[in-house]
Amino acid sequence: MKSKTLVTNALVAALYFAVTALVAPFGFLNIQLRLSELFNHLIVFNKKYFFGIILGVFIANLILSPTKADLVFGVLHTALSLGMTMLFAQFVKNKVKLMFINTIVFSFNMFIIAYMLKVFVGLKDGFLILWSTLALSEFVTMGLAIFIVYYINKRLKLEQFV
């Protein structure tokens, strides 16, 4: 791995953690407003962002999550979702469309987090209720992030940093 890629991924991981820490109590509930999810859209611009995003999720969950099951399930959710988006990227070249697909993939896959909250945290809500609230909050957060990341990319050209 090149130094530039390593440094960029370390920066992404640090930023993911910092943004998660800003809204920490709201990033780990059954309705999650985790603003750091915007970093998931970086995968649309370059697959080399994968490890920085995963590391950011791992560190955030290790330090901030009230349950250590999040280390497994949170990272699994992110890795699976990023991988699926990378597969879609082979067929969809329009970045805005791909960010929308990424949003849907991450939102749908929130069943993984719903399972974790139901089984390991013991939330009393029904599984479908948990999945629905998590998916909706993920969809809103990442949907809004499309505009933010699109604007940032206009200024910075995110493909070039890794």
User: Quick one: pLDDT at residue 23?
Assistant: 83
Using 50 as the pLDDT threshold, list the residues of the chain that sit under it: none
User: Quick one: pLDDT at residue 20?
Assistant: 93
User: Quick one: pLDDT at residue 113?
Assistant: 95
Domain ranges of the chain: 3-161
User: Quick one: pLDDT at residue 115?
Assistant: 96
User: What are 79's two structure tokens?
Assistant: 């890795």
Q: Is the dihedral of CA 57, 20, 34, 60 positive or negative?
A: positive
User: Quick one: pLDDT at residue 30?
Assistant: 66
- The class of domain 3-161 in CATH terms is mainly alpha
Q: Give CA–CA dist 117/147, Å, rounded.
A: 30
Q: Give CA–CA dist 132/62, Å, rounded.
A: 25
Report the 10 Å Cβ neighbour count for 153: 18
